[in-house]
Structure 1
């Protein structure tokens, strides 16, 4: 665990008489990580941040000087980015865009709108004509490929609500050429076939396949492809296994003939999880330890209403113990020694589990569990107000914090 995170948590706990429950985001770490990612990327590639992973305004502000722009998937996310910057490039993706979202995207001058269906394309043309606003679009394509990497979450290469089946590209091209389309400009293709892929080699092969298909469709349908958005989907490991090797991936891209032959086109990536996951920490204090049917449970101030990712994905979330020696009561302090302990939250549901059967040397009531890799898809996907427990505090490490 980052020593600055540990020190900050100790400061937070000592300043309150309530059990600790907080998120800490290491903004300095995020910026350093992104700088290293950018340094490895080959020419003609661009890095955007998908804010769905964590739309915290402080994170957006920290990334603003570094990334090429931001990817959003709702009008709410779009307006959050625009609160930070009026002109930073924005990619707007996601299925089921409502009419007001399309109008909002056009009014706020998004760089590229990702088209998810033929109906959506016709609506974009209608609203762009009404507003007389040049609107650039990328067609999101669901490939009919059987060679895509397989992960727990797949959005392409199979029946899916995401994107256009590639069989409809010709029809989309014909719509774009209709005489009543005066303001919508085709700029390229968007692909996002999977999520949380850990294999850099397979991912590089997949991106090369994207580029080859885009080139094929450019010739076949007489299109001018300026942008290929290869999406995100880069994996983060929560079980101690190796995560996605960005340096290896970038190196393979640099060797790819398809990337070298981009010409004036640009290749875009829009990761979210890979950028922020390792730089967020969720801390929850142990408020009780109990034994039931020969099992040991540690109950924390918090739970899945703050960090739903482990319950959502069915994994044990990695954590470390921050020991506290203070014990203000006259009675004995409950503890578990050399035990398997299941970490549960304060909710009235057996599904409120963060880690099952963790093998621990010692855990005491009053100790703090710090769940690492909690920077992405933890707070924002959670059911915050179930049972109306207080929300966690939010704290940030910046360049002003020093490791003594």
Structure 2
């Protein structure tokens, strides 16, 4: 709560210094640093934590988390270049379902630590590209597990998706990888879900991954060294003060690895949302209040072109209201008291909704709505230039180090 108050105070101070309506992302870099360090420190010794750049590729975010993670997971050539511009030697893992020849070549040239291979065809192309450069590439095969954990917001495995190799077809991929001279098969990648908030179920998912690799070692009579369980650790958007019980999870994970993971395995986590979400906020000033067909609407300076996640997931993004008492106009201030309100953006589409029919004690034109848990999959996944509205400001809260 102390950090939230710091964020609110920073927004109030910024508003006091400007004339026009406020719209800004606020990143709490101090808390991000503490949070990421805590996550890393609690993990078992055989586990490596990578930051998933797709969650938030802001340069200041990357620089803040870098000292506390093993490296970065990227999903495009563009993300790879962002990381390499900042960190010439940090370990990088390259994933994604549609890699071009140019991206695979760049991954080799930029000395990535591992490449997640998504199909036999991609495996053959990578071998061809690596052979032309007279080098060997360390890879993980991405497995679309038949048994995937329930309870996540999105699922990439356990059903037909474009991700990974069907578990029933993985034998062909393993056999191919073991016969290609420029491929060094290190293990497997199992990123299967996004925003998983059930700690016990996530632990069970990891146990499934470990069992898969153990069986593969028995079947092929060889050791594998890497078990990448991906990310997927979630955020309770409907209860923003509740968090995934990471400390409990880490302790249980340690026990699980002692039971089922031989010492030659390295387990990799690729966390993005769980690292960044709680340390970012999106603030937007109320421009108008109106009632149509009995529904109260608040129109904000901003919308889904800045924060697309609530529309994409059809959810009410958690928020609070920051009251701004200054009122510069010589006429009455529109306001709502103890009403249900729908928070809509400034775009010319009825889909520009960030929260629908939610209770609100008081809301006035000129107040600021502060959306919480906006540090991941916020600005980065949004359609910034639709209607050519101005971009938000970016405010970074960081004490001198």
Q: How does 1:31-42 map to 2 (within 5 A)?
A: 31-42=33-44
For the pair 1:331 / 2:336, whether they are aligned, the reply is: no
Cα deviation, 1:157-215, whole Å, max 9, x if unaligned, reads 2222111112333322332333xx44321111100111111111111111011011101
Q: Which residue of 1 aligns with 2:160?
A: 159
* 1:116 match: 118
Residue 239 (1) aligns with residue 238 (2): yes
Q: Distance in 2 between matches of 1:340 and 1:149?
A: 32
Looking at structure 1, the residues matched to 392 and 40 of structure 2 have their Cα atoms a distance apart, in angstroms, of 33
Q: Distance in 2 between matches of 1:89 and 1:186?
A: 17
Greater displacement, 241-250 / 347-356? 241-250
Q: Which residue of 2 aligns with 1:183?
A: 182
- Identify if the C-alpha distance between structure 1 residues 257 and 382 changes in structure 2 by more than 3 Å, giving closer, same or farther: closer
Contact 1:106 1:128 in 2 (8 A): yes
Deviations 1:106-132 (A, max 9, x none): 111110000100000001111111112
Whether the aligned pair in 2 keeps the contact of 1:208 and 1:259 (CA below 8 Å) is: no
Matching residue of 2:84:
82
Higher deviation after alignment, 257-266 or 302-311: 257-266
1:16 corresponds in structure 2 to: 18
TM-score (normalizing by structure 2): 0.96
SS at match of 2:381: coil
Identify unmatched segments of 5+ residues in structure 2: none
For 1:212-251, list aligned pairs within 5 A: 212-240=211-239, 242-251=242-251
Matched residues in 1 for 2:257 and 2:22: separation?
53
What are the equivalent positions in structure 2 for 1:169-180 lying under 5 Å apart?
169-178=170-179
Distance in 1, Cα, partners of 2:207 & 2:62: 30
The CA deviation at 1:260 is: 5.7
- 1:259 deviates by 5.7
CA distance in 1, matches of 2:158, 2:138: 26
CA distance in 2, matches of 1:202, 1:259: 18
Q: CA RMSD in A?
A: 1.6
**Equivalent residue, structure 1, for 2:69:** 67
Q: 2 CA distance for matches of 1:168 and 1:219?
A: 17
Question: Which residue is 1:197 aligned to?
Answer: 196
In the TM superposition, residue 217 of structure 1 has moved relative to its aligned partner by 0.5
- Tell me if the contact between 2:210 and 2:260 (Cα under 8 Å) persists in the aligned partners: no
Change (3 A) 1:272 1:342: same
Large movers: runs of 4+ above 6 Å: none
Local SS of the residue matching 1:113: strand
1:232-266 superposed Cα distances (whole Å, 9 cap, x missing partner): 11111111174421112111111115666321220
CA distance in 2, matches of 1:144, 1:260: 20
Q: Tell me, what secondary structure is at the counterpart of 1:33? A: helix
SS in 2 for 1:78: helix
SS, match of residue 247 in structure 1 = helix
CA distance in 2, matches of 1:312, 1:95: 20
Q: TM-score, normalised by structure 1?
A: 0.95
Tell me which residue corresponds to 1:206.
205
Whether the aligned pair in 2 keeps the contact of 1:114 and 1:138 (CA below 8 Å) is yes
- Note closer, same or farther for the CA distance 1:38–1:260 as it changes in structure 2 (3 Å cut): farther
The count of corresponding residues between Structure 1 and Structure 2 is 398
Q: C-alpha deviations, 1:362-401, integer Å up to 9, x for none?
A: 1111111110110111111111111100000111111339
CA distance in 1 between counterparts of 2:216 and 2:199 reads 26
Q: Is the 8 A contact 1:305 1:386 kept in 2?
A: yes
Please give the alpha-carbon distance, in whole angstroms, between the structure 2 residues aligned to 1:223 and 1:312: 43
Shift in alpha-carbon separation, 1:15–1:257, aligned structure 2, 3 A: closer
2:149 alignment counterpart: 148
Shift of 1:150: 3.9
Q: Does 1:91 align with 2:93?
A: yes
